[in-house]
Amino acid sequence: MIAIPMHAILRNPSAQVLNQDRVSYKSNTPNADQTAGQGLKPCTTSPTDAARNHHHRATAASVYRTALLLIVCLTALPLILAQDTQAQVLRQMQVERIASNRVAVFQEYTQYAAVVVESSIPGLRIDSNLEIIADLSEPANGIYRVIIHPRSQALYFRAPGYMESRISTGPLQARQVLDLTVEPQDRSITDTGDLLIRSEPSGASFTVEGLPGRYTTPHSFTDIIAQTYNIRVELSDHETKEISVRVDPLRPSVRDVVLTPTFGFLTIGTPSAQLFLNTEQVDQEYRVSYTFNEPLKLDTGSYTFRLSREHYQDFTGRFRIDPGATVFVSPTLDPDFATLRVRANVPNFQLQAPDNNAPATNTRNEINLERGVRTVVVSAQGYADLSLRVTARPGVRIDTTIVLESLAAVQDRQRREQMPRGILNITADMPDAEIFINGERRGQGEVSLSMIPDTYQVEARHPRLGRQQTRVSVPSAGVVDETLLLRPSRGQAVFLSALVPGTGHLYTNRNRGYFYLAGAAAAAGFTVWARLDYNAANDRYDTALLNYQQANTLEDAALYRAEVLDAFGAQNTAYDNMMLGLAVFGGVYAVQMLDILILRPRYGYRDRRQTVQAGFGPQGANLTLRF
């Protein structure tokens, strides 16, 4: 077992040390004052006897010294020879101690090592520079057990009123026990120093182990014992921090403590909403009051929040408050209503929806509608009211265009409703074309309807041939036949193809017109390029020929002659290219003209027969001829 001294901390350097009986000794020899008080006895021995006595004393002293040296040698030799045996005994004692503590110490920590300390010092604490796995101490019995990592490390022994001690262990193994004895060492301490404790933020309360009272940062200590102090710093809404500070006797010691707040801030950027929070610790939602764009102080941790506002859908999310951090949450709440926007033929009109509690809008031609099927009444002065049935879905914006009838038109329509109805026959030249009257689908291909005397917008729609529309007036008790022509005209197709190759085919919905158009355009472009190249080569030829005719030497004549021949060859090549482009263009033009004249489109051409429309109106019979 290893014994470690524990230095006693003394408040006053002149105070008495602990366990005085271990360092002070009693002397059996009286002091000088006592001897003087007793006086001296007279000498009665003769000189011969004195010499003989002196010789005997010298011989006895020599024999004594020799015997003493022999005893020392004989004593030391077995000790030296017994070192190995003593080491074996110590190891055996340690093994026995390990075996005795194995059940108590390693019951749950078989992969770690242990430190077992016997000490009479109250409040002893064992620390490691690595980690203390578990503390199994029994302070009442003076037994301190801690579980540590099986590695080399530094062990610290601290207790209130005592200076700390430190030892370094060698490599430890799993299930190995290090047995120690820690006791006070009897000596005084006289070294002192100064200590300044500061914190961020300031105003924190702290205590010093071994010193009475509670202090507030910043605080300075003067002439305190130069040793290591354990300090506990506390501040409201901040984490408590425990530190160790070593007071240096040579210079003032300063320790700054940064305290971590246990709160953060939440800023809500959504106005006019109610905030509900739910923490992981307390699984219950609660309402929190907040100010728009103002920080809200919250404890650290994870939160689930819900923003609620009337006529808007709730928004749910999560956020985490870190110490001292600010979280900004600004969600956009989706409306729980639909918005209807109306365009009308009159400038000033009003929108009203009975039994509608959705919030009002700032725009005259818009109205918010609660979810569901709603009725909206559009009214304007001098016009008849119009009712709209709208299915409102949350967050959906609906745009519609209406036409309000003037009161005079309503009265006229009511008058015409009393008149005999007319017959409207509408025929489209495509059987699969859809027929619409005033924007309302009324049939397909051919329809015959009994209509109130009025003017109607008639339209035929085809997915490939487009649409054709016209306005038809239906007289009272009359019959009107209207034919809507969707098929292409043969003459117009031939005219377009003759004007621009391929356009007649596009007019008749034949996609090969794109190939004719592209081929003709490419041939025309190539021809234009060849013509420009021909003009450039011709200019080069004229210049070279003029230089050749004006040459003064044979060398110049030979040079200009070569330029003339080169320009002539380029001129011929450009002419050939130009003729090739014209030939290709002419071929494409001829082929597409034969195609448009011979082949019919998929839906054919319009019927070239004459059409006759007859009807009877208030003014009498009317006749319309179309060729």
pLDDT higher for 249 or 528? 528
- pLDDT grade for 13, boundaries at 50, 70 and 90: very low
- pLDDT grade for 399, boundaries at 50, 70 and 90: very high
Task: Report how far residue 451's alpha carbon sits from residue 523's, in angstroms, rounded to the nearest whole number.
Answer: 57
The answer on pLDDT for 618 being more than 90 is no
Q: What topology does CATH give the domain 419-487+610-626? A: Immunoglobulin-like (2.60.40)
Q: Which of 123, 93, 101, 116 has its CA nearest to residue 6?
A: 123
Percentage above 90 pLDDT, the chain: 32
DSSP-H helix ranges across 107-212: none
- pLDDT grade for 459, boundaries at 50, 70 and 90: very high
Q: What topology does CATH give the domain 1-20+60-190? A: Immunoglobulin-like (2.60.40)
pLDDT higher for 101 or 290? 290
Please give the mean pLDDT across all residues of the chain: 80
CATH architecture of 263-329: Sandwich (2.60)
Residue 159: exposed, middle, or buried by beta-carbon count in 10 A (0-12, 13-18, 19+)? buried
Lowest mean pLDDT among 170-179, 219-228, 275-284, 564-573: 275-284
User: Tell me, what's the pLDDT at 447?
Assistant: 93
- pLDDT grade for 14, boundaries at 50, 70 and 90: very low
- pLDDT grade for 158, boundaries at 50, 70 and 90: confident
- pLDDT grade for 67, boundaries at 50, 70 and 90: confident
The partner residues of 616 in beta bridges, in order of sequence, read 621
> What is the rounded (10 degree) CA torsion for 491, 495, 498, 499?
-170
Task: Report how far residue 504's alpha carbon sits from residue 496's, in angstroms, rounded to the nearest whole number.
Answer: 5
The answer on pLDDT for 189 being more than 60 is no
The partner residues of 100 in beta bridges, in order of sequence, read none
The answer on pLDDT for 577 being more than 90 is yes
pLDDT of 466-476, one tens digit each?
888 999 999 98
Q: Where are the beta strands (DSSP E) in 259-396?
A: 263-268, 274-279, 286-288, 295-299, 301-308, 315-321, 326-329, 337-343, 350-352, 366-370, 372-379, 386-392
User: Tell me, what's the pLDDT at 288?
Assistant: 85
- pLDDT grade for 582, boundaries at 50, 70 and 90: very high
pLDDT of 260-310, one tens digit each?
998 899 998 888 888 888 876 666 788 888 888 888 888 888 888 999 988
User: Tell me, what's the pLDDT at 223?
Assistant: 86
Q: Considering the domain 337-409 in this protein, what is its CATH number? A: 2.60.40.1120
Task: Report how far residue 281's alpha carbon sits from residue 341's, in angstroms, rounded to the nearest whole number.
Answer: 48
User: Tell me, what's the pLDDT at 91?
Assistant: 40
User: Tell me, what's the pLDDT at 50?
Assistant: 44
Q: How many CB atoms lie within 10 A of CB 365?
A: 15
The answer on pLDDT for 218 being more than 90 is yes
User: Tell me, what's the pLDDT at 426?
Assistant: 92
List the domain boundaries for the chain: 1-20+60-190, 263-329, 337-409, 419-487+610-626, 492-598
Asked whether this chain's domains 263-329 and 337-409 adopt the same fold, the reply is yes
Q: Work out whether the CA dihedral 444, 446, 452, 453 comes out positive or negative.
A: positive
In this prediction the pTM is 0.41
User: Tell me, what's the pLDDT at 35?
Assistant: 33
- pLDDT grade for 62, boundaries at 50, 70 and 90: low
**Strands 372-379 and 386-392, how do they pair?**
antiparallel
- pLDDT grade for 60, boundaries at 50, 70 and 90: low
Cis peptide before 201 (omega within 30 of 0): yes
Lowest mean pLDDT among 25-29, 185-189, 200-204, 331-335: 25-29
pLDDT of 466-524, one tens digit each?
888 999 999 988 999 998 888 888 888 899 999 999 998 888 888 899 999 999 999 99
User: Tell me, what's the pLDDT at 56?
Assistant: 55
- pLDDT grade for 592, boundaries at 50, 70 and 90: very high
Percentage above 70 pLDDT, the chain: 78
CA distances from 603 to 324, 465, 595 (A): 77, 9, 16
